[in-house]
Amino acid sequence: METTYEPAAPHIPCEDNWNPGTMKPDAAEAYLQVEREGLIRIMRAQTGVSTRRVSVRYQSAVPHEWAKQRLGKVRTEHGIKV
C-alpha cells in the first residue's frame, strides 16, 4: 500500500492597508468570501486610532499578488464596488 501526502499549503504572511474611508463593508465581504474559498486566513483587521487606516493581516496559501487579484475578481463577480 502506498501512502501519499498532500503538500501543506504555504502560510505567506500578508498585510493590506486601506486609507481612511476606503474600506467599505463590501470590501470586507470580499475578504470573507476569499477566506471561505480557502485562499486566505484572516488573522486580524484593525483600525488605527489616530490614523483611521484599516490594516488587514492574513495568511495566504498563494503569493500576495495572487490573493489581491482574487480579491479584485470577487469584487467584480459579486458587483462589489470599493
Q: What is the pLDDT of residues 38-53, one digit of tens each?
A: 999 999 999 999 999 9
pLDDT tens for residues 57-73? 999 999 999 999 999 89
- Edge-to-edge strand ranges of the sheet holding 40-47: 12-18, 54-60, 40-47
Q: What topology is assigned to 12-77 in CATH?
A: Alpha-Beta Plaits (3.30.70)
Higher pLDDT, 27 or 78: 27
Alpha carbons 62 and 67: distance in angstroms, whole number: 6
pLDDT tens for residues 1-18? 565 545 556 789 999 999
Whether the predicted model's global pTM rises above the 0.85 cut? no
